[in-house]
Chain A
Amino acid sequence: MARTGVWKKKSGSSVFEKVLHAEKKATGKSPRFYAPEDVKAPLAKKATNKPTKLRSSLTPGTVLILLAGHFKGKRVIFLKQLPSGLLLVTGPYGVNGVPMRRVNQVYVIATETKIDISSVDVSKYDDSYFKGAKKEKKSGSDSVFKEEAGKKELSADYLKNQKAMDSALTPIIAKTKDLEIYLKAHFSLKDGDRPHLMKF
């Protein structure tokens, strides 16, 4: 007895009905069972994860001032933005002791000093390069754990990459007058400084 008019359901409206339909097509038999209620089709997930929007003042090769962390006050060179949104910076290490490091753009002041680093290859660095080795979960006694906690040694790879980055950047820095001295110097607020009036 067919339902007519307003009560007639549109066929193939729900996911389940589509599945049943597909099944019927495939096997040629009527499906095994019908859901008592209409199964709602899940909404399509269209969210894409994009890296944080970069401030317009942040372009690769900009000299940045680090505001927090172990290297606060140091002036570093911005290399590129990583897929996670964090910024990849380096001192360079030979100049002011800042290795290649990730930094959030919110903890950084971009100065107007920029250098051209288009000749430097940064494509191989991404977030997984900076993630530490996964700590093995030990369900043993405490003493076993303490033995493991020795000094973290940097892999030869890290040191080699840092040296390569340094040697790529040094000639570019040497082109700009006083830039090396500038990168060596700390930034600090002094008496009478008004950051809201300062031009960086």
Chain B
Amino acid sequence: MAGEKIRLYVKGKIVNYKRSKCNTHHKTSLLEIEGVESKEETPFYLGKKVAYVYKAHTKKAGPNGPTKFRCVWGKITRAHGSGGTVRATFRKSLPAKALGAKCRVMLYPSNI
């Protein structure tokens, strides 16, 4: 890919669902944000919008015409543990194929 000209989001990885040993809670996903390695670095990202962008086979209506790209929006709710992982809830719970996939952590709602 030639690469995007303007990236206004931080790359994140959808790592897991919130879970205990035997039960998974799909409503909440765990994200690892690039460059965030400790709990002290997470406050900046709390409340920020997250987008899980994926491609599908059929074209559906989009803002600029029909497109194969789709998106699930969510937001970062809180830190998870002390290693910089973060919890996020999405409007619809993420599908299992999203585990290990990239997500986009937007810089808004901004507080700077």
Contacts and interface: CB of A to CB of B under 8 A. Distances in A.
Nearest to A66: B8
The interface residues of chain B, by DSSP majority, are classed as loop
Interface residues of B, number: 21
Given A67-B8, A189-B8, A195 B106 contact: no
A57 B112 CA distance: 7
B36 A196 contact: yes
A189 B12 CA distance: 13
Interface footprint category on A: 20 to 34
Given A194-B35, A196-B41, A196-B45, A109 B110 contact: yes
Nearest to B42: A196
Interface in B21-70: 35-36, 41-45
A33 interface: no
B112 A109 contact: yes
Nearest to A68: B108
B10 A188 contact: no
Interface string B78-112: 00000000000000000000000000001111111
Contact of B44 (A73, A189, A190, A195): A195
A200 B44 CA distance: 13
A18 interface: no
A193 B35 CA distance: 8
B112 A200 contact: yes
Query: Most B CB atoms within 10 A — which of A68, A187, A192, A196?
Result: A196
A38 B42 CA distance: 57
Interface of A: 55, 57, 67-68, 72-73, 105-110, 186-190, 192-197, 200
Given A109-B107, A109-B110, A196-B44, 10 more contacts: A67-B8, A68-B106, A107-B109, A189-B7, A189-B10, A192-B35, A194-B36, A196-B43, A197-B35, A197-B41
